[in-house]
Structure 1
Amino acid sequence: MSGERVALVTGGSKGVGQGIAVGLAEAGWTVVVSGRDEDRLAATVARIDAAGGHGSARTCRHEDDAEVAALVGGVAAEHGRLDLLVNNVWAGPPMNHVRPDRFWERPLSDWDSLVGLGLRAHFVAAHAAAPVLVAQGSGLVVNVSSVGARAYLHSTLYGVAKAGLDKMTEDLAHELSSDGVTVLSLWPGLVRTEQLLASGVESIAGVPVADAETPELQGRVVAALAADPAVHERTGTVVVTAELAAEYGIAEPDGGVPVSPRVMFGLA
């Protein structure tokens, strides 16, 4: 397909991943989404196509390195390129957002999900994609991170995983910069996912759920980043959805104005 721009969004069956896929579709992208649930993936593909993109889905267990390598290689082989990898797949254990458990009250298995899978899955996908991107001499990797990398959010191990992801972004960017590949960490604010809305929680860390960002805003911002001819100047850095939305003049689908998590958590 002439002029085709191809994105792979891991964990694209719901929530932020689905929103990113839809936001990219609005900009005309071909979007491949991965995950476990075939029905949810099919729903995402339907939304991609309805938004003006070209969608397809691949089932993948992201704890299986071979499946991840096959996923990335298959997308590149089918489309002849890979312009954007969005590392969004995540394995967050159930948490009490009203009174978060302290680290010694949590099971040690949280390490395996948040770090062993959540953080590691991003590295494995980047590892598989890097040869494709280097051979092209171009491409963008966006790691979906969080203000939890710097401020306390959810749990100790959540912060460990997100801080590790931001450091990984910085170092991947260092190694890929001379090959024309850009790597960024994206900090959404509090996002109104289906799971969050269904929880009945009214606020998290003092932020009202009613004021939270939409998943689709994340995709609109990622699409704008990918279209920015100066995006490589940002490589290795953390970018914030709300701040980029203001910079690029991007509106929420419902007209809301997102607030930067830096402001929410009193960070510089």
Structure 2
Amino acid sequence: MGEAGKIAIVTGASRGAGKGIAIALGRHGCTVYVTGRSRQAGDHALPGTIYETAEAVTAAGGRGVPVRCDHAFDTEVEAVFAQVEKEHGRLDILVNNAAAIHDELTDPGGFWEKPLKLAGLIDVGVRSGYVASWHAVQMMVRQNSGLIVFTSASGAAHYSMGPAYGAHKASMDKMAFDMASDLRHAGKSVAVVSIWMGALLTDRLKAIIASDRKKYGHLDGRCETPEFTGEVIWALSNDPELQALSGSTLVGAQIARDYGITDAGGRVPATAQELHPGLKPLAFHHAVVR
């Protein structure tokens, strides 16, 4: 398939990582379906809408298609995939990035001292990623090709912002591993990976850094751009050895080096292990119980 022909869905792409990934895929001529809840300014405390992201994808050289979707509702998710099926009959890349992130996540205190709504990461994050992948695989198995990506982070393997966040990230990695096992067992050439992103210089993180420079100022100059992971995903989707990586949790900064990808300005972001010696994705056992 030619570069301009790839069809992608990036969930939770009104802003942040999802927006950057969608724009990066647009640079390579992809048609990118941009999902999210924000349709106009004021829908969220942070700037960004699905329409703005879609326009940025088109401006980058692709075709952005905004689709309003609340990933808490399975019927809305189903409608996104039905639209892609109707309009293209195929899907090449799914990026599971939608997550229910609340500002209180970074507040001090134990999990019991924070609002119960933080558990929403288990619904819009873990469960929603499963549901979107289930729909994506219906098309990908039929065409016997495709790439599903979960956006994860090193919080899967160390404490970070509480149990809801940790459970979300660890679940991304394990779902990629298990989904790849099922697909491999069925003899299908559909790859599933989880990617550890570094700290991303998004509007949310900029606000967090500004709110407490003593605590978060060390992140200045150490963040990845939101587009960086999108470039990694594009390289993965074109790797003839992709199936060998299926089921893996990949450290984005490391796999980028393997592909010769740099971030804005030619910068090479630090890997998780460079920032925290000994830190690496969990190794899941090869035993299979069916």
TM-score (norm 2): 0.86
Task: Give the SS at the match of 2:235.
Answer: helix
For 1:27, the aligned partner's letter is H
Q: 1:131 offset after TM fit, Å?
A: 1.0
Greater Cα offset, 53-62 or 207-216 = 207-216
Task: Give the SS at the match of 1:45.
Answer: helix
State the match for 1:107 in structure 2.
Answer: 115
- Would the aligned equivalents of 1:202 and 1:208 in 2 still touch at CA under 8 Å? no
State the match for 1:20 in structure 2.
Answer: 21
Q: Which consecutive segments of 4 or more residues in structure 1 shift more than 3 A? A: 201-207
Match of 1:175 among 179, 182, 195: 182
Q: 1:41 offset after TM fit, Å?
A: 1.1
- Would the aligned equivalents of 1:186 and 1:241 in 2 still touch at CA under 8 Å? yes
Match of 1:160 among 154, 158, 167: 167
State the match for 1:38 in structure 2.
Answer: 39
Q: In the alignment, does 2:74 pair up with 1:65? A: yes
Q: 1:262 offset after TM fit, Å?
A: 2.8
Q: 1:206 offset after TM fit, Å?
A: 8.2
Determine what percentage of the aligned residue pairs are the same residue.
39
1:66-145 matches, within 5 Å, as: 66-95=75-104, 97=106, 100-111=108-119, 113-145=120-152
For 2:229, the aligned partner's letter is Q
1:237-256 matches, within 5 Å, as: 237-256=248-267
Instruction: Render the CA deviation track for 1:119-159: whole Å, top value 9, x for unaligned.
Output: 11101101111111111111100001111110111112211
- Would the aligned equivalents of 2:24 and 2:227 in 1 still touch at CA under 8 Å? yes
- Would the aligned equivalents of 1:92 and 1:118 in 2 still touch at CA under 8 Å? no
Task: Give the SS at the match of 1:32.
Answer: strand
**Unaligned residue ranges in structure 1 (runs of 5+):** none
State the match for 1:261 in structure 2.
Answer: 272
Instruction: Render the CA deviation track for 1:13-39: whole Å, top value 9, x for unaligned.
Output: 111000001111111111111001124
Distance 1:174 1:229 in 2: 19
Distance 2:105 2:32 in 1: 34
Q: CA RMSD in A?
A: 1.9
Q: 1:204 offset after TM fit, Å?
A: 6.7
Q: 1:109 offset after TM fit, Å?
A: 2.9
For 1:13, the aligned partner's letter is S
- Would the aligned equivalents of 2:39 and 2:51 in 1 still touch at CA under 8 Å? yes
Distance 1:160 1:100 in 2: 19
State the match for 2:204 in structure 1.
Answer: 195
Q: 1:242 offset after TM fit, Å?
A: 0.6
TM-score (norm 1): 0.93
State the match for 1:230 in structure 2.
Answer: 241
Task: Give the SS at the match of 2:172.
Answer: helix
Instruction: Render the CA deviation track for 1:16-71: whole Å, top value 9, x for unaligned.
Output: 00000111111111111100112411111111111111111100010000110111
For 1:86, the aligned partner's letter is V
- Would the aligned equivalents of 1:140 and 1:226 in 2 still touch at CA under 8 Å? yes
* 1:258–1:5 CA distance, 2 compared to 1 (3 A): same
Task: Give the SS at the match of 2:167.
Answer: helix
Q: 1:217 offset after TM fit, Å?
A: 0.6
Q: 1:101 offset after TM fit, Å?
A: 2.3
Task: Give the SS at the match of 1:13.
Answer: coil
Distance 1:232 1:204 in 2: 41
For 1:214, the aligned partner's letter is T
- Number of positions where the alignment pairs a residue of Structure 1 with one of Structure 2: 266
